[in-house]
């Protein structure tokens, strides 16, 4: 298993364990994440998948190329082997013809010996006797010419057989040389074919592994989708619980809507104050427009300046059942990784005295609509949140 696969497996296991915590209702503040963080991780996984798919596409192209080369080389090997088989067949045929020619030569030599024996050994006629027995000079020359023709015929046939043998031997030598070349070529091509086959197999394995990584990344994305849906449901339940506490508190303090002056700069704030305020803004409005981030910061500082709430930023933020990200663990996650730049800017503006609402409470717009606050309660919509 590759290092990348091991990392994916670990991430998937973490997602599964997180889901178990969510389903069981156990608190996991120290290791919790947020929908936004999960979405970010999911996008990273999608980018990784896209990169892997691009790599897989390149590998597939390389695989097709090397396989095409392999097929072409395989055809060359097959053609060379066919040519080699044909050459071996021709050599075998010529060897047979050569044997037949040699047998004919032997037969012809026997015939010639018989002729010679007949003419020179068994014949008792001398040239003088042949002349005297002839009825005329013409008959003598006729007999003499006949004997010469027999001798010449035998010699011509013998020469023809010898020439045939020489031609066969020459052609056999050429074909044998061709066979040697073809055998060498076939051996080299076969060697190259085996090496190329290894490249094909290696490219195929690499492509299969890359496709497996793509599938693993897709499984990771699917796990993120599942975890995001579970986290949204979990945060929705926490938001509904916090909403009940918020609404009860708003009625309990008897200052609804807020009539106190809660504006002005927060003198002497510390870096910890700035960091915590930026973090709660990020947790509650990180995906909201800048106006919405200022509004969340305004609510926190309105509470700090209100006589009905704790008079410190940390006291307001960590007041029981008031801010859902505190319970879900999203705030701690942001504190660990650091708030976004725009949330830091919004926190600085609010600490310097900027306010765009004097409200003390806010809910997600969907929740405010579900609970019937929108249209029946004095409030305002900023971004996707309802401030009252």
Task: Answer for the pair 55, 210: CB distance below 8 angstroms, yes or no.
Answer: yes
* Residue 179, Cβ density class (10 Å: 0-12 exposed, 13-18 middle, ≥19 buried): middle
179 & 31 share domain:
yes
Is residue 222 domain-shared with residue 354, that is, in the same domain? Answer: no
Spatial contact of 323 and 331, defined as CB atoms under 8 Å apart = yes
In this prediction, residue 272 carries a pLDDT of 98
248 in a structural domain: no
Residue 31's CATH number: 1.10.287
Domain-located, residue 104: yes
Domain boundary among 232, 262, 285: 232
Q: Which range in 87-96, 134-143, 239-248 is most confidently predicted, on average pLDDT?
A: 87-96
pLDDT in tens, 334-356: 999 999 999 999 999 999 999 99
Domain edge (last residue) among 232, 267, 296: 232
Is residue 242 a part of any domain in this protein? no
pLDDT digit string, tens, across residues 176-219:
898 899 888 889 888 988 998 998 899 999 989 999 999 999 99
Q: Could you read off the pLDDT of 258-285 as tens digits, one per residue?
A: 788 888 999 999 999 999 999 999 999 9
Statement to judge: residues 152 and 282 lie in one domain: no
77 shares its domain with 19: yes
Q: Is the pLDDT of residue 140 over 80?
A: no
Q: Are residues 227 and 258 in the same domain?
A: no
Q: Please indicate, yes or no, whether residues 182 and 303 belong to a single structural domain of this protein.
A: no
Residue 101: is it exposed, middle or buried by C-beta count within 10 angstroms (0-12/13-18/19+)?
A: buried
Q: Can you tell me whether residue 320 is helix, strand or coil?
A: coil
Please report the pLDDT score of residue 26 as a whole number. 39
* pLDDT at residue 5, rounded to an integer: 60
Smallest Cα–Cα separation from 335: which of 273, 258, 287, 269?
273
Q: Could you tell me if residue 279 is inside a domain?
A: yes
> In the chain, what's the furthest Cα-to-Cα distance?
171
Number of domains in the chain: 2
Angle at 297 between CA 294 and CA 298, to 5 degrees: 85
Residues 164 and 270 in one domain: no
Query: Chain centroid to CA 347: how far?
Result: 45
Q: Where are the alpha helices (DSSP H) in 124-136?
A: 127-133
> 3-class SS at 249?
helix
- On the question of pLDDT at 225 being above 70, the answer is yes
Q: Based on the domain organization, do 262 and 225 belong to the same domain? A: no
Q: Which domain holds residue 266?
A: 254-387
**341 within a domain of the structure (yes/no):** yes
Q: How confident is the model at residue 99 (pLDDT cuts 50, 70, 90)?
A: confident
Are the CB atoms for 282 and 371 separated by under 8 Å? no
Query: What is the pLDDT of the chain when averaged over all its residues?
Result: 84
Answer yes or no: do 98 and 153 share one domain: yes
Strand ranges of the sheet holding 380-382, from the earlier edge strand across to the other edge: 362-364, 385-387, 380-382
Task: Judge contact between 202 and 283, C-beta under 8 A.
Answer: no
CATH number at residue 330: 1.10.10.2520
Q: Give the pTM.
A: 0.54
Q: Is residue 62 part of a domain?
A: yes
Mean pLDDT check: name the lowest of 122-131, 235-244, 331-340: 122-131
Q: Indicate whether 80 and 191 sit together in one domain.
A: yes
363: cis peptide before it, omega within 30°? no
Q: Residue 149: which H helix or E strand, with range?
A: helix 137-253
60 contacts: CB under 8 Å, gap ≥ 6: 207
Select from 117, 114, 146, 144 the least CA-distant residue to 129. Answer: 144
Residue 219 and residue 157: Cα distance in Å, rounded? Answer: 88
pLDDT at 114 over 50: yes
Quick check: is 365 in a domain?
yes
Q: Is 1 helix (H, G, I), strand (E, B) or coil?
A: coil
237 within a domain of the structure (yes/no)? no
As a whole number of angstroms, the distance between CA 184 and CA 192 comes to 12
Asked if residue 207 and residue 312 are part of one domain, the reply reads no
- Tell me: do 70 and 193 sit in the same domain: yes
Length of the chain: 388
Give bridge partners of residue 385 from the DSSP assignment: 364, 382
- Domain boundary, last residue among 202, 232, 262: 232
Do 32 and 328 contact (CB within 8 A), yes or no?
A: yes
- 31 has a pLDDT exceeding 50: no
Q: Which residue has the tokens 């060379």?
A: 80
Give the per-residue pLDDT at 260.
86
């Amino acid at each position: 298993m590759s290092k990348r696969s091991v990392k994916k497996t670990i991430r998937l296991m973490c997602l599964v364990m997180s889901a178990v915590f969510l389903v069981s209702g156990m608190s996991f503040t120290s290791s919790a994440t947020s929908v936004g963080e999960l979405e970010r991780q999911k996008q990273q996984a999608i980018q990784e998948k896209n990169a892997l798919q691009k790599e897989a596409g390149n590998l597939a192209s390389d695989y097709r190329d090397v396989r095409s080369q392999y097929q072409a080389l395989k055809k060359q090997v097959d053609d060379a082997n066919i040519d080699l088989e044909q050459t071996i067949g021709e050599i075998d045929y010529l060897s047979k013809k050569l044997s037949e020619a040699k047998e004919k030569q032997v037969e012809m030599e026997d015939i010639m010996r018989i002729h010679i024996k007949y003419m020179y050994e068994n014949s008792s006629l001398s040239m003088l006797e042949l002349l005297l027995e002839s009825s005329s000079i013409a008959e003598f020359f006729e007999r003499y010419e006949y004997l010469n023709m027999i001798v010449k015929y035998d010699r011509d046939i013998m020469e023809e057989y010898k020439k045939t043998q020489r031609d066969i031997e020459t052609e056999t030598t050429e074909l044998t040389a061709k066979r040697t070349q073809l055998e060498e070529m076939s051996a080299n091509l076969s060697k190259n074919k085996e090496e190329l086959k290894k490249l094909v197999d290696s490219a195929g394995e690499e492509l299969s592994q890359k496709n497996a990584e793509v599938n693993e990344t897709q499984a990771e994305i699917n796990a993120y989708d599942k975890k995001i849906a579970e986290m949204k449901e979990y945060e929705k339940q926490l938001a509904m619980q916090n909403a009940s506490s918020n609404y009860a508190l708003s009625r309990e303090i008897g200052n609804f809507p807020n009539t106190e002056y809660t504006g002005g700069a927060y003198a002497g704030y510390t870096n910890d104050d700035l960091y915590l305020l930026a973090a709660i803004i990020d947790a509650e409005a990180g995906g909201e427009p800048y106006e919405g981030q200022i509004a969340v910061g305004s609510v926190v500082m309105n509470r700090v300046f209100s006589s009905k709430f704790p008079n410190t930023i940390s006291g307001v933020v960590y007041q029981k059942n008031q801010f859902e990200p505190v319970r879900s663990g999203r705030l701690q996650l942001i504190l660990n990784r650091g708030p976004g730049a725009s949330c830091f800017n919004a926190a600085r503006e609010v600490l310097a005295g900027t306010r765009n609402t004097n409200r003390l409470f806010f809910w997600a717009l969907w929740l405010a609509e579900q609970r019937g606050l929108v249209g029946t309660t004095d409030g305002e919509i900023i971004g996707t949140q309802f401030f009252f």
